[in-house]
A = this chain, B = another copy of it.
Amino acid sequence: MDSHSGSSVRLKVFNLNCWAIPYMSKQRQVRIQYLGDFLNQKNFDLALLQEVWSERDFESLRQKLLPNYTWAHYFRSGFIGSGLCVFSKHPIQEIFQHTFSLNGYPYKIHHGDWFCGKAVGMLVLEICGILVNVYVTHLHAEYNREHDYYLAHRVAQAWELAQFIHHTSRKADVILLCGDLNSHPGDIGYRLIREWIGLEDSYLETQDFQGCEEGSTMVPNNCFVNPHEMEHFPRGIRIDYILFKAVSGFRITCDTFATTTGSGPDDTSGRSIPLSDHEALMATLSIRPASFEQSHNAARDAETQASLMGVLHEAWTEMGLGLAAARQWVYSTGHLFSLGLLLLFLGVGSMLFEDIPWVAEAFFMILGAIVLLGSGGLYLTSLHESKALYEAQAEIELAMEMAKEIQPEAVEVSSTSSLLRTSIQSESK
């Protein structure tokens, strides 16, 4: 509940990746019910959820939460939906969403991300006269940290997310970004988002933390977590976040920050089923009016600027590697497509010769059709991937150029990038 004590506004925020995949996630319906009870009991201002894949689950939550959270929205996108939804005690004034250009591969059916339409959902709230832009998101999963096939996609998503927030929050007093970034605190995705927008991390900012060691949001002692995946992380991993920024005239502090700890969030209830395979995050934020000196952070210091340049350059490089791989696929699948055409022609052409059995003709035609369809699909996928990565790279390049103009001492990094850019451009011609 927000209490406008003195001149400060308190905001209680809840975030959870719900792991609610119909037919696949364990004890889904019990957990959704449990989550509804918990949210009603704790009375947050905002609850932001990810991986609510079934609209029925959202609808059942909506019905249950209606008395306490009057406003709700499910973000629909892709084939399945974005999985993102929000429940708010405060009137939602505007909603908008941006679906990420890149989101895995359609042929990776077992991973499924491509079908989900991963996105960033945006809400505009006005709380006690303060304009709050809230963003909820879920970036591409990391299935194999050693050989992260999707790194370029996740970095491109992180950049799109950062750009979307950067451009849509210009009038906001306060920015909140909650969600599952599928990036550890040291990873480029997390750093890119934080540095480009200038966001603070609730876990790092609070003086009062209660929860998993190192703020982890996936821990081995959660019974839904596959222990094998946590082999290298005995203390768990931190990939879910509540990030914030006061844009102008305001200052935010994170008074308390808590996570669930692998068991049920409220052990006194006697129910010990965790809410999800992820831990829930709960932050109490205080928003206060601030003097110009306190709130003004436009003039970045040289160190921050250099750090931003480094992060931009790292993201640019990661996308470049992805782009090179995508172009290789465009090339290979293009050749495979020609092979499919050849097989089809062989099949059709062999019909002119009476001594070739029709089984052989049919074989060539069917094989040709399969190769054509398969390589055609792969060709389009890689083509789309290369366009999206190239676009993201171009946006980052421009950002680096602009950052360079602001801070001449960062020339070293950016001149390297210019060289790289020239080589990419000549390659693309």
Which residues in A have some Cβ–Cβ distance to B below 8 Å?
55-56, 59, 73, 75-81, 92-99, 101, 115, 117, 122, 163-164, 167-168, 170-171, 366, 380, 383-384, 387-388, 390-391, 394-395, 398-399, 402, 428-429
Other-chain residue from B59, B95, B387 in contact with A77 (beta carbon distance below 8 A): B387
Check A171 against B171 for contact (C-beta < 8 Å). yes
Check A394 against B77 for contact (C-beta < 8 Å). no
Q: Give me 11 other A-B pairs in contact (C-beta within 8 A), A77-B101, A78-B384, A94-B402 excluded.
A: A77-B391, A78-B387, A80-B383, A93-B402, A94-B399, A95-B394, A95-B395, A96-B163, A99-B99, A171-B171, A366-B366
A95-B398 CB under 8 A given contacts A167-B168, A168-B168? yes
A422 to chain B, nearest CB (A): 14
Q: How far is the CA of A354 from the CA of B269 in the complex (A)?
A: 63
Check A79 against B398 for contact (C-beta < 8 Å). no
Q: How far is the CA of A399 from the CA of B96 in the complex (A)?
A: 11
Q: How far is the CA of A94 from the CA of B115 in the complex (A)?
A: 31
| Top 7 A-B pairs, shortest CB-CB distance | A170-B171, A76-B387, A76-B391, A170-B170, A167-B168, A79-B383, A79-B380
Chain B residues near A78: list those with CB within 8 A.
384, 387
* Nearest residue, chain B, Cβ from A379: B79
Chain B residues near A163: list those with CB within 8 A.
96
Chain B residues near A76: list those with CB within 8 A.
387-388, 390-391, 394
Q: How far is the CA of A93 from the CA of B399 in the complex (A)?
A: 8
A418 to chain B, nearest CB (A): 15
Check B73 against A117 for contact (C-beta < 8 Å). no
A83 to chain B, nearest CB (A): 12
* Nearest residue, chain B, Cβ from A384: B79
Chain B residues near A380: list those with CB within 8 A.
79, 115
Other-chain residue from B75, B80, B384, B394 in contact with A391 (beta carbon distance below 8 A): B75
A81-B387 CB under 8 A given contacts A95-B398, A99-B99, A398-B94? yes
Chain B residues near A167: list those with CB within 8 A.
94, 96, 122, 167-168
